[in-house]
Every structure is written in structure tokens, then in C-alpha cells.
């Protein structure tokens, strides 16, 4: 870290800062500028919070962190891409992985139909919500365990691993029993108790970026899971909240490139939640593949106008087939490029 | 709700929408404009999701909701101000209530000293964190139950009720045992499982707005608590995330006025977390009082440079005394005005 | 427009609103809901501001606009794609158009070298700044007319039309003399005097979205140019300002799809300014092509570390060649898809 | 500036950076950390852009600026508060200055009535728009010179200086002839040609923060005016664009404190445009006074429902009188506090 002193800082104040740095086991390194004195605090990261608190000392203008706060999630720590293996599939490997299915498990019939549709289209993993985070307490909250049971059954019937959201620490064991991947939703990206709990699970974790989460914070949340022992983390960009309201959120495709630069973890993209409208999903799925995403998360519903939730962003079967045609074409074209990303 | 048809919608499409509206038990009301046909869907709200899904029907351009999605939290539902009573205090009544204390309970000594300081300054409620939501898994995570125990003890010694954060459904019972108010932090504002759980508690809930939560969403989160049976909810504005980085977040004081217009619940303001720097806390605390807040949440630490977390935003004792002088002066001046807010 | 009355609005208040609507030449259409009275105001748009002002009348809760505020820019007004022709090129036609060159014209040598590089790479139009909008008054402000002269010369030598920014109404005639396309920068997107002035020019206008401009506002700014008589407007997405700081701005690729749905105007993408770092430019250029953009705007500099401004986001020649290889490959693959965008 | 090298940077790369720093006349100062080498670039600011471009050199991870980019606007440059004198009034002095009047000059009658109302209420300066920045080209664009003439006349009749917006460099001389203060609107805050032009005027400049302008950028825009020779600049916070839509913009009152800390220029607040609704104006005006603003900018209209623009945010006369009562009371209470702001 670099401590920047005020332009009128007294020598006594500088001396005090140096002493403080040394008292927490760091080395201090002075740099006398024309207008400012800078003091580098050189150490191994353990005293970090005490160093930051030095901003409260007299004469200190600011404390500038130099190192990134995440470690296990960083590409410096692990330069090679992490490949998460699930049921014979590789997420983060050379092939694009498509996870698709309905927002919510509504009934056995609806789910089975969805599963056959996404399988036919070429999806690799079946998604479906059993516990639903709904803004309104009056909205349908999901079929819960019965939904999990149906999801597992549909996955088995169609030969696809399944992914579903877990919202509460008390439900992690239950969801782990039924699901091949544990999804942490955008609203829970900083639910630290939940992150620690899925960090102890034996299933991979699909971690969605929150609407308000910086990429650094997302990697810090991944760090919670990794540091608890679960190394199989998949990151997911799903749109951030901005001033623009033409789409539900703003899909931040730059995030894919930044995350792959800073981290070794696989990154997938969810254009359905990001845009909030089926009309925009296919072009943005193409863009996600072109930018170098490792996979897609797509909402599909046999009859969107009858969907209990998020019908507006769900693709009808024929639209999903077209999306799969488009992205397959792109994937074949780009495979070589995608592998040599920046 | 109002369904807006596309400008070239066929009569057959309009007929289909009307049928759909009637099929979910609503009445349809046509309004033929120059360029558009509008169809009002008149009913009691139960069929709401099916109506919104109509945006998937052919010929429909958009569906415009007219009513607000929250009920119990709304001023229409309860026109008079809610006053939350805690240990002889009234939050939302004529007096400004100040909750103050350290970010984190670090030790008995630090907490006791803080408690005596805030009591001396005139604070009404003692705050302090035992379970801490930290962005980094490597940061101090709080003293947990031992922290709760110390907090309760400090509250009893100084004659102040206490407020502390609860982060996980499994800890609600424990926190309720020690704390007079259960705080839901900004990152958990849409942790719906947690909201339902504290909705069943017998203690009041202090619900902090998330960094990217709209006021409507905040009231929907309050609705979760209210609809689970706990009517003692206190809302807290603590800054939202914007593009500006000069302060940690952007304190949205308009939120106080908007919330008090739309809702009957008390609203307090936390300028410490919003600004992220002690220098800005006192002027913004004054502004919060002037805009009509029912209370303040202020971080105070006997030695901020030694604080384990958030030292930079904590007021030293003498600064806190000055804040209390300022806001008391303002409160006496404005009391009459504050009571006749729009 | 729809006027929503308060839930306790008196019949007298409703009557007054109806009278007011009729007094500005609209027809009023009542819709009596369970909790609210809605009043449709049906007319031809001329009285729009008076209708919106009705929100000030007693008993009115809000006024909801139904129609979009732009006309000439809308796809309803002109359903077929607008193709802007410049020097034998078609922007908005079946081929992707690449505009490339240095941020700033620094010298004849630097510009000529850049021009040969981008020509060799396959770019169609040469870009370069002569008048530079710089945040700091102490930064280099551009070579002005000498820069324009060099740009024209470089374009002629390499057989490419040129595009450059115009910042002030008093310079429009001058820039028009030298440049084939007039660029309006992000900071001037709501400089209405400038929009009116370029609306009278005989050259096409490249209109960049502002960092905080909604898509509706961007189309309203286009409407200024169109309504002043210049029908050759090209829209450009170049990133919006959000809370994320890992990239300079957040490239909003959904904007391309939304704009092409709502408007007939061509849409290009500038990944250089959006991301602010050369490392991210090529993947996002690919994504822009995949999402359906009509063109790209790319910064290229022979020696980025010597660039007077924005060196960090400029591609070296060899990186630009690779970008062109990638996007050409994609374009050939997608051409059929791009043409059938939703 | 501090250059942070990559963790695997070669000694040769470090040497190259040092050479580069020295080649632009700075001194280099190495700091060898555990994981990173930092290189301080010590000099007088003239070589700044070349230093920033060093981020393009091999082995460099990032360049961290230490000094603020504005000078004349900074409190370091001028520690004492700037007081702008206009017609016997002091803006930035011990008294709160209120500027009030209609959004737009609509007619002599409307303006005169407004002027008498605001004078009666105790306002010091009359505001009114003659050139109007309107999002739609179809909206009323202002009475232009006739509006200026009426404004001057109204100011003279009521004994108040006047303030009005200038939107274009070609109109600065005209507006300066009639107006006592030149207002630069939010959309023109980075219209650098206009800033330079008003920097040469003999009248003070009221510079409104843009919806998307950081405080640092606002001070850089002020720097444009100051460095062109006009030292009489008044800053104005008027709300920023965020995700929240309950108010038109989000009034950022922290901005007042931050600006007053970093700069010597006076700061006023416009709660009318920020909130976009008259209901919220008075409480936020009180908050602005409490936080330490030097003045207020308030929209007042004798009959808001008949206003050509922005009627919804204009106060009726009786509401304005109440606002003035409230803020006068506050001002008297706080005067001592306001003077000792941090």
C-alpha cells in the first residue's frame, strides 16, 4: 500500500506513520515528491486493515491499495484456466456449454416438456428454479423440495446434469442432494454465510454477479467459496443496474474479458435476466460467445405467456432452436480465436 | 394495469387480449386512441402475474402497472405514522432518535468505552456489530455470540437498548435473545429467507436499503417482514451506489421524503456508511434531520485509527459530541416543521 | 397519455381533469377501476406538455405517457433501415463498415502512418480528432484547422472518406469543408444548438451516445438533427457510465438491438472509448459484430506509448490487423443472421 | 504519479520505465515491495500525459495518479473561501443567497408576477430561462432575446440581479448584456468551447453539475473558466443520474461538503431540478442549508399547471413563502455552525 501524506504534513507526522507501519510488521519506504511525501508500506498482506486505518492519522491524505484483495481467485495465483467438470461435461474447456430451461419449475408436465425442448436444441445442462427469490412476498415462491425432485427426474430422463438456485444456508444440504450445480443468485452474491456454506459443499457453485457488484467484489465473493475449500466455482455475468431502463439490466460483456484476465475461473453469461426480454436474448447470446464466454444460461419455456414468472424473457422452443443454431455456427467459427483470448 | 397494443394490432389480437383478461377474472376496458388501443385490466390484484405475462401475446406492446406492488407498507393502507416502541423510546414519534456506537464489537473495553461516550453525547440506542458482513473472507468476521453478550451488557450498564445485525436465518433466534432491534444489512435487503424469518421475530427490524435497491424494492422487502406478521419495521437510508467515487456511496436524502410520502414506516439515516468518511458525517447528519428523518445511525469509536473495521468513517468522541450539539439544536428549531412534512 | 387519479380523488376533481383535457383539444376517456380512476387523453400529440402539466391538478397521482416522444427517428415512422451513403460506402447496409485511426491528429507523419495502417488492415473510413474535448484545460486541445487539413489529405491519399469531431456551432462550416462525416461527441449529445446546426449541414452526422444518455434521449437528440433536415444520422454506442470501474465505461451492447428495434437509423459501436484499454477492444469488437452492429469505430496508433491522448486504448498495427481478421471472419459467418435480426 | 509494475516484470522493463520517466524531465524513485515494484515519478506536472501513457510500456500494470488534476479551483491553491459579488450581494459569504423564479420566461405578465412573488418571499436573485435546453426539438425553445429583455426589466423593477442560462458560444455576448450571472446548464458542463468563452466574460458564471459529472470533472470544468481568466465561478449541485426513478435525479448533498473541502468556490443547490417534484423541494432545500450550501436555486411559478415547462417541480407562491420561512429559520440557527464547517 502507498500512504499519501498531505502537502503540508509535518516531519513529525511522517515519522509517526513510519512507526505505525513498522509496528504492524511492514517495512516503510519513503518517497519525497515535489508536492507530496509518499510512504510505501511493504509487507505480506496480513496487516492490511491496520494499514488502511492509517488514513485516520494526522497528516495522512489517503491510502492507496496496490495489490488486489483476492488471491485464490486470481490468475496470478493460478495462471491456467480452471475447468469445472460436471457429469462428463467441461465448463471452462474448449466447448461452449449451454444451460437452459424454465425460470421456475411449475409442474412435472411443464418441466418435462422444457427439458425435452432444450435437449433437442442441444443444451448441455438443465436449469430450473425450485426456490425462487421474488421481490414480492405475494408472488409464487417456488415448488421447493417437490421442484427439486422433478428437476432431478427431468435431468435423469434427458441425460443432463441440473442446476438450481439455493437461497438459504439451511437448504444447501437439500439442494446438494438433488442438483449437480448449486446456483447462488444475484441477490445473494454477498450473502457471506451462504457463500461459506456452499464453500463446504461437494458440488460446483455457479455464482451470479449481483446487480450492484463490481467485478472485484464478485471475485471476493468467489474467494469466500474457494477459501472454504470448494475450488469448483463458475462465474456468471447477468447484467448490472444502471440508469438505462430500455432493458431490465445492462449486460456488461466487458466483464467476461476482465474476469478472464484477472481470474482463472470459467465465466458464463445469462442474457435472459440481463435484458429481461426474449427479443434481445439471441443477439446478446451471440455477442457473449463472440466475446469469449465459456457458456450461456438461457430461459426457455414451452408457453411463455403462461409462465408463472419471467415469461417475457423466456424463449419459445423454436426461438431457442434458432439461438442454438446461431451460437453453434459462431462457436465453430471462433473456436481457435476464443482459445487465444487476450 | 393498462395493456398498450401495438399501433398495427389487429382487431383479432385485441379480442384475444380481452378474453385473456377476462379468463383471469379481471374486467377489460377498451380505450381507442388515435394511434394506439389501450386496454385497462380492472381487478383485485390477484391475477397480476398473469396480466403481466400478457406482454407475450401477439399485438401487445407493453403492460403498464398502475398500482404500487406493496400494500401493508403503504400509506394508503395505513395513513398514520407508525411509531416503533423500544424500551420506552419511540422511533417515528416527535423526537429524533440517535443510534450510535462502534462498527464492530472488538473487546469489552472498547465497547464499554464507546457506550459511555455515546450515552454521554445523548444517544438513545447503542449499536455494535457482532456478526460482520465483510467483502473479504480474510477480514475479521466479528466476535459472534461473545460480541452479542458484551453488547447486551453494555446496553444494560448504560441504560440503552441495543441494535445489531443478523446475517443468517440460523442466527435470528440467537440475536433476538440479546438484541432489542434486529438489523438487516444492506447486502441482505433482498435475502428473502432472512426477511421472512425476522418477520416472525418479536423484536423490531431495522431494514437498511441496499446499495442498488430502489425505494419501491425497499418497501417490497419491508412488505416481506410485515406480511410475515412483524409490524415493527424501521427503514434506513444508507447511501446508494452511483458513478461518483468522492464518497463511498451517495447519500440519497430525497429517499426520506419519498418514503415518508409512500409509507407510514419510520425512516432513519446512516451518514457514516453512506459517506465513508468521518469528515462528512456531521454535515450530512444535520441535513438528514433537516429533511425530516426520524433518527440517525452513527459510527463512533474511541480510537478510530485502531478500529478493526471502518475506522475512517467513525467519529472520535469529541466529534460525536459536536454532532449531537448540532442535531439537537436543529431538532429543537425544526420540531414543528418536521411534524408537518408534506 | 393516461392520467391516473389518486385513490381518494373526488368526482369534482375527475370532472376538472376531463375539462382540462378537452380544453387543449384532446378527448378524455374514463376508465373506472377498483381502486383508481384512469383517464385516457386521446389526441394528436400537440398538446402534450399541457397534458403532462396536469400532474399539478388536485387529485391527480401521475401522468403516464404511452407514445414515444420521437417521431422521425422511429421505426414506426420509417419501417425500412436507413442506409447512409458516404463516398461509395453504405453505412447501415449489408456490409460492416470499420472507421479507424488515431484519437488525435498529432502530426502529418503520425497521421499518414496511421492511415496506411488502417487502410492495409481493411478499414473503410479514416478517423482522427482535430478539435479535442479534453477534461482538463491544460491538456492538448487539438491541431484544429491544420489537423483537419492533414486529415483530408490522408483520406485522399489512402482513398478513404474521413470522420472527425465538431464541438462548436461556429466550427461546423469549417469541419464540413474538410470532413465527410461530422461527429458529435458524447459530451455534446445534448448540445442542442450544435445538433440544430449539424441538422442543417450537407454531410452525414455520427452521433455518439453520452455517458449518461438513455436510448430514448439519444433518439431525441437524433430527432433534433432529423427535424432540422439532415436525414443522414448514424448512431454510436460508446459505453455508459456505471458504478463499475474495471473498464472506463460499460459498453452497452443491448443498445444496438434496442436501437435497431425502435429506430431505422444505422448503429455502430466504439469499443475503444467504452473499455478504455486496448486489451479489451478486439473481443468487444467481435461481440459488437455478433450482436448486429452496422459498423465499428476503432482507435489505432502506430506507437500508443507516444500518443498525446488515449494511448492506452489504441491498438498497435498488428493488433488492429488481428481485429480485422476476427471481425471479417465473423461478418462472413453471420451475414445471413445479421440480416434477419428480430 | 506512481507506476505499478507487474509482479513478473523483468529488471530490463523496470529500467526502461525509469529511463522514460527521466526522458520527460521527472525523477524516478524505486520502491521494491514483496510482490511488486513501484516507481514514483516525481516532477512538476507538465509531463503528466506522457507519464500516463507509460501504462502502454511492457511490464507496467497500472499508473496511479497522486495529485488532483485541477489547480486554480483547489483549496490548496487558494485556502480562503471565494466570495462572488453581484449587485451588492455576496455569494459564498456568511448569508444564504436564494435565486428563484420560473423555469422559463413565458410572457411579461407571468415573469413580473413571478418576480414580485419571489421578491416578496425574500429571494435575492431572479432566475428565468430565455434559451431553453429541451430534450425534444418539438418543445418550446424559449423566448430568446425577448425573454432576456423581459428578465432584465423584471430584475430592475424588483431590484434583483438576474441569472439566466447561456447555451451556445455565439450567444454569450448577448446574454452577458442582459444578465448579471451566466448560467451553464447541466448538459453543457463539458461543452468546453462554451466554458472557455464564458471564461472570458466579465460576469460571474453559475456552473451546474451535469447529471453524469463526477465532482472532480466538475472542478475541471470550473478550471476551464478560471484558467480563461474569470475567477467568479459558482458551483451548483442539481442531482445526478442514478438507478433510482422515484425522483427525477438523485440530489447528492454530500457533494456540497466534498466541494467545499476540495475547492474555495461557493456551492449552491438546486432541489427543484434534482427532485423533479415540488412536493420534495422544501425539505431538500432545508437539508441543503443544513449541510452548508451557500445558496439555493428554486423554481417558482404563479400557476404551475399552466407552466410551459417543468410545472411539476415549480412551487406555488404560498409554498415558496413557506420554504423561505423554513430556510430563514434554519439559517439563523446554523449561521455559526455553517461558518465552522470542516
What are the tens digits of pLDDT across the range C146-188?
999 999 999 999 999 999 999 999 999 999 999 999 999 999 9
Which backbone phi and psi does B184 adopt, to 5 degrees?
-105, 120
pLDDT score recorded for residue C39: 87
Q: Rounded to a whole number, what is the distance in Å from the CA of A311 to chain D's nearest CA?
A: 24
pLDDT score recorded for residue B342: 43
- The DSSP symbol for D210 reads P
- The DSSP symbol for D55 reads G
Answer for the pair C54, C60: CB distance below 8 angstroms, yes or no.
Answer: yes
| Mutate: best of D20, D46, D49, partner C, most C CBs <10 A | D49
Interchain pair C53, D217: CB under 8 A: no
Q: Rounded to a whole number, what is the distance in Å from the CA of D71 to chain C's nearest CA?
A: 10
Query: How far is the C-alpha of C43 from the C-alpha of A62, rounded, in Å?
Result: 59
Query: How far is the C-alpha of D210 from the C-alpha of C190, rounded, in Å?
Result: 11
Interchain pair B67, C35: CB under 8 A: yes
Local structure of A206: helix, strand or coil: strand
**How big is chain D, counted in residues?**
342
**Spatial CB neighbours of B318, under 8 Å, sequence gap ≥ 6:** none
The strand pairing partners of B300, in sequence order, are B315
pLDDT score recorded for residue A264: 97
The string of pLDDT tens digits covering residues C272-298 is 999 999 999 999 999 999 999 999 999
**Spatial CB neighbours of C247, under 8 Å, sequence gap ≥ 6:** A254, A258, C239, C274, C275, C276, C277, C280
Query: How far is the C-alpha of B86 from the C-alpha of B97, rounded, in Å?
Result: 11
The strand pairing partners of B237, in sequence order, are B269
Average pLDDT (B304-329) is 91
pLDDT score recorded for residue B341: 45
The pLDDT confidence band at residue B46, using thresholds 50, 70 and 90, is: low
Chain B contact set for C241 (CB, 8 A)? 243
Interchain pair B29, C34: CB under 8 A: no
Chain A contact set for D31 (CB, 8 A)? 29, 31, 40, 42
Using CB atoms within 10 A of its CB, is residue C149 exposed (0-12), middle (13-18) or buried (19+)?
A: middle
Chain A contact set for D44 (CB, 8 A)? 34
The string of pLDDT tens digits covering residues C103-126 is 999 999 999 999 999 999 999 999
Q: Is the pLDDT of residue A49 over 80?
A: no
Residue of higher predicted confidence among B154 and A27: B154
**CATH 3.30.70.1140 segments of chain A:** 2-64
Interface contact B72, partner D, CB < 8 A: no
Answer for the pair C226, D137: CB distance below 8 angstroms, yes or no.
Answer: no
User: In percent, how much of chain B has pLDDT > 90?
Assistant: 71
Answer for the pair A148, A175: CB distance below 8 angstroms, yes or no.
Answer: yes
Average pLDDT (C47-70) is 81
Query: How far is the C-alpha of A99 from the C-alpha of A96, rounded, in Å?
Result: 10
Interchain pair C136, D212: CB under 8 A: no
Local structure of C80: helix, strand or coil: coil
The string of pLDDT tens digits covering residues A157-171 is 999 999 999 999 999
Exposure pattern of D208-222 as b/e (b: 16+ CB <10 Å)? Answer: bbbbbbbbbbbbbbb
Query: How far is the C-alpha of A15 from the C-alpha of C71, rounded, in Å?
Result: 67
The string of pLDDT tens digits covering residues A314-323 is 999 999 999 9
Pure H helices in chain D: 11-23, 48-52, 108-121, 145-158, 172-178, 192-198, 215-227, 254-262, 271-275, 278-291, 317-339
Nearest CA among A222, A280, A173 for reference residue A72: A222
Which of B2, B29, B36 minimises the CB distance to C67? B36
- The DSSP symbol for D305 reads G
The pairing of strands C125-127 and C97-101 is parallel
Which of D134, D139, D190 minimises the CB distance to C187? D190
The strand pairing partners of A29, in sequence order, are A40
First to last CA, chain B: 28
B235 sits in which H/E element: strand B233-237
Which backbone phi and psi does B181 adopt, to 5 degrees?
-135, 140
Query: How far is the C-alpha of C7 from the C-alpha of C26, rounded, in Å?
Result: 24
Which of B214, B283, B329 minimises the CB distance to D257? B283
Question: How distant is the alpha carbon of residue A130 from its chain centre?
Answer: 20
Interface contact A65, partner C, CB < 8 A: no
Interchain pair C256, A283: CB under 8 A: yes
Q: Chain A residue with minimal CA distance to B55?
A: A312
Chain D contact set for A248 (CB, 8 A)? none
**Spatial CB neighbours of A221, under 8 Å, sequence gap ≥ 6:** A184, A189, A190, A195, A207, A213
The string of pLDDT tens digits covering residues A56-103 is 888 888 888 877 889 999 998 999 999 999 999 999 999 999 999 999
Q: What is the rounded average pLDDT for all residues in chain B?
A: 92
Question: Cα angle at B317 between B314 and B319, to 5 degrees?
Answer: 75
Handedness of CA D232, D234, D235, D238 (dihedral sign): negative
Residue of higher predicted confidence among A68 and A257: A257
Nearest CA among A174, A229, A192 for reference residue B171: A192
Range with lowest mean pLDDT among A35-39, C235-239, C319-323: A35-39
Q: Chain A residue with minimal CA distance to D75?
A: A7
Q: What is the rounded average pLDDT for all residues in chain A?
A: 92
Interface contact D35, partner C, CB < 8 A: no
Query: How far is the C-alpha of B200 from the C-alpha of C290, rounded, in Å?
Result: 50
Which residues of chain D register pLDDT less than 50?
338-342
Query: How far is the C-alpha of C107 from the C-alpha of C18, rounded, in Å?
Result: 66
CA distances, D313 to each of B161, C17, C32, D270, D282 (Å): 42, 19, 28, 11, 11
Other CB atoms closer than 10 Å to residue C299's CB: what's the count?
29
Average pLDDT (B256-281) is 97
Answer for the pair B330, B290: CB distance below 8 angstroms, yes or no.
Answer: yes
The pairing of strands D89-91 and D97-101 is unpaired
Q: Is the pLDDT of residue B250 over 80?
A: yes
Exposure pattern of B183-210 as b/e (b: 16+ CB <10 Å)? Answer: bbbbbbbbbbbbbbbbbebebbbbbbbb
Interchain pair D312, C223: CB under 8 A: no
Interface contact C304, partner D, CB < 8 A: yes
Interface contact C168, partner D, CB < 8 A: yes
Residue of higher predicted confidence among C31 and C252: C252
Q: Chain D residue with minimal CA distance to B341?
A: D283
Which backbone phi and psi does D136 adopt, to 5 degrees?
-105, 135
Local structure of C295: helix, strand or coil: strand
Question: How distant is the alpha carbon of residue A57 from its chain centre?
Answer: 37
Neighbours of chain D (3+ CB pairs under 8 A): A, B, C
Chain A contact set for B211 (CB, 8 A)? 212
Q: Rounded to a whole number, what is the distance in Å from the CA of D162 to chain B's nearest CA?
A: 28
Exposure pattern of A51-74 as b/e (b: 16+ CB <10 Å)? Answer: bbbbbbbebbeebbebbebbbbbb
Other CB atoms closer than 10 Å to residue A315's CB: what's the count?
26
Q: Rounded to a whole number, what is the distance in Å from the CA of B31 to chain C's nearest CA?
A: 7
**Spatial CB neighbours of B325, under 8 Å, sequence gap ≥ 6:** none
Query: How far is the C-alpha of C151 from the C-alpha of A270, rounded, in Å?
Result: 43
Local structure of D326: helix, strand or coil: helix
Interface contact C279, partner B, CB < 8 A: no
Can you name the CATH fold of D2-64?
A: Alpha-Beta Plaits (3.30.70)
Average pLDDT (B168-179) is 97
Chain C with chain D: Cβ pairs closer than 8 A: 121
Other CB atoms closer than 10 Å to residue B310's CB: what's the count?
23
Interface contact D6, partner C, CB < 8 A: no
Which of B7, B42, B242 minimises the CB distance to C34? B42
Query: How far is the C-alpha of A261 from the C-alpha of A264, rounded, in Å?
Result: 8
The strand pairing partners of C44, in sequence order, are none
Chain B contact set for D256 (CB, 8 A)? 283
Q: Is the pLDDT of residue C84 over 60?
A: yes
pTM, rounded to two decimals: 0.93
Can you name the CATH fold of C84-339?
A: TIM Barrel (3.20.20)
| Mutate: best of B42, B43, B63, B213, partner C, most C CBs <10 A | B42
Other CB atoms closer than 10 Å to residue B272's CB: what's the count?
29
Which of C250, C282, C337 minimises the CB distance to A252? C250
| Mutate: best of D5, D21, D31, partner A, most A CBs <10 A | D31
Average pLDDT (C206-230) is 96
Interchain pair D64, A67: CB under 8 A: no
The strand pairing partners of D104, in sequence order, are D129
Q: Chain B residue with minimal CA distance to A136?
A: B220
Q: Is the pLDDT of residue B36 over 90?
A: no
Answer for the pair A235, A212: CB distance below 8 angstroms, yes or no.
Answer: no
Which of C244, C283, C288 minimises the CB distance to A214? C244
Interchain pair B244, D214: CB under 8 A: yes
Q: Is the pLDDT of residue A46 over 70?
A: no
Interchain pair D256, B291: CB under 8 A: no
Give the ipTM of the model, two decimals please: 0.92
Interface contact B312, partner D, CB < 8 A: no
Answer for the pair C92, C83: CB distance below 8 angstroms, yes or no.
Answer: yes
Chain C contact set for B36 (CB, 8 A)? 66-67
Answer for the pair A123, A98: CB distance below 8 angstroms, yes or no.
Answer: yes
Range with lowest mean pLDDT among A41-50, B173-182, C241-250: A41-50
The pairing of strands C60-64 and C2-5 is antiparallel
Which of B212, B220, B278 minimises the CB distance to A135? B220
The string of pLDDT tens digits covering residues A201-244 is 999 999 999 999 999 999 999 999 999 999 999 999 999 999 99
Using CB atoms within 10 A of its CB, is residue C11 exposed (0-12), middle (13-18) or buried (19+)?
A: exposed
Which backbone phi and psi does A106 adopt, to 5 degrees?
-105, -35
pLDDT score recorded for residue B45: 64
**CATH 3.20.20.70 segments of chain A:** 84-339
Range with lowest mean pLDDT among A23-37, A247-261, D64-78, D191-205: A23-37
Interface contact B31, partner C, CB < 8 A: yes
Chain C contact set for B2 (CB, 8 A)? 2, 38, 64
Interface contact B341, partner C, CB < 8 A: no
| Mutate: best of A6, A137, A304, partner B, most B CBs <10 A | A137
B151 sits in which H/E element: helix B145-158
pLDDT score recorded for residue B28: 86
Phi-psi region at D310: left, alpha or beta (left = phi > 0; alpha = psi -120 to 50): left
Interface contact D221, partner B, CB < 8 A: no
- For residue C33, the number of C-alpha atoms closer than 13 Å in the C-beta half-sphere is 26
Interface contact A64, partner D, CB < 8 A: yes
Q: Rounded to a whole number, what is the distance in Å from the CA of B304 to chain A's nearest CA?
A: 7
A85 sits in which H/E element: strand A84-86
Neighbours of chain B (3+ CB pairs under 8 A): A, C, D
The strand pairing partners of D250, in sequence order, are D240
Average pLDDT (A125-148) is 91
Which of C212, C242, C337 minimises the CB distance to A250? C242
Answer for the pair D256, D341: CB distance below 8 angstroms, yes or no.
Answer: no
Interchain pair A33, D40: CB under 8 A: yes
Amino acid at each position: 500500500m502507498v500512504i499519501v501524506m498531505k502537502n503540508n504534513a509535518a516531519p513529525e507526522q511522517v515519522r509517526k506513520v513510519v512507526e505505525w507501519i513498522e509496528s504492524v510488521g511492514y517495512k516503510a519506504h519513503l518517497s519525497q515528491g515535489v508536492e507530496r511525501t509518499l510512504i510505501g508500506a511493504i509487507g505480506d498482506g496480513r496487516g492490511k486493515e491496520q494499514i488502511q486505518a492509517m488514513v485516520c492519522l494526522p497528516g495522512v491524505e489517503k491510502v492507496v491499495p496496490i495489490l488486489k484483495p483476492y488471491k485464490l481467485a486470481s490468475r496470478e495465483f493460478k495462471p491456467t484456466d480452471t475447468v469445472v467438470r460436471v457429469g462428463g461435461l467441461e465448463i471452462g474447456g474448449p466447448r461452449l456449454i449451454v444451460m437452459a430451461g424454465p425460470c421456475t419449475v411449475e409442474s412435472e408436465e411443464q418441466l418435462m416438456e422444457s427439458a425435452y425442448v432444450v435437449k433437442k436444441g442441444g443444451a448441455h445442462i438443465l436449469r430450473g428454479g425450485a426456490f425462487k427469490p421474488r421481490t414480492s412476498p405475494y408472488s409464487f415462491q417456488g415448488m421447493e423440495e417437490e421442484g427439486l425432485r422433478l428437476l432431478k427426474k427431468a435431468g435423469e430422463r434427458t441425460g443432463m446434469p441440473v442446476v438450481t438456485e439455493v437461497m438459504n444456508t439451511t437448504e444447501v444440504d437439500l439442494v446438494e442432494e438433488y442438483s449437480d450445480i448449486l446456483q447462488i443468485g444475484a441477490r445473494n452474491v454477498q450473502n457471506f454465510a451462504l457463500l461459506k456454506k456452499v464453500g463446504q459443499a461437494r458440488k460446483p457453485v455457479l455464482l451470479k454477479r449481483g446487480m450492484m457488484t463490481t467485478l472485484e467484489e464478485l471475485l471476493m465473493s468467489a474467494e469466500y467459496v474457494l477459501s472454504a475449500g470448494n475450488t469448483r466455482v463458475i462465474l456468471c455475468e447477468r447484467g448490472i443496474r444502471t440508469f438505462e431502463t430500455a432493458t431490465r439490466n445492462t449486460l456488461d460483456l466487458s466483464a467476461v474479458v476482465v474476469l478472464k484476465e484477472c481470474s482463472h475461473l470459467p465465466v458464463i453469461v445469462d442474457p435472459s435476466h440481463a435484458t429481461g426480454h426474449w427479443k434481445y436474448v439471441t443477439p446478446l447470446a451471440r455477442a457473449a460467445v463472440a466475446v469469449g464466454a465459456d457458456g450461456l444460461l438461457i430461459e426457455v419455456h414451452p408457453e411463455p405467456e403462461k409462465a408463472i414468472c419471467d415469461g417475457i424473457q423466456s424463449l419459445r422452443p423454436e426461438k431457442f432452436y434458432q439461438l442454438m443454431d446461431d451460437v453453434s455456427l459462431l462457436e465453430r467459427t471462433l473456436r481457435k480465436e476464443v482459445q487465444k483470448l487476450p
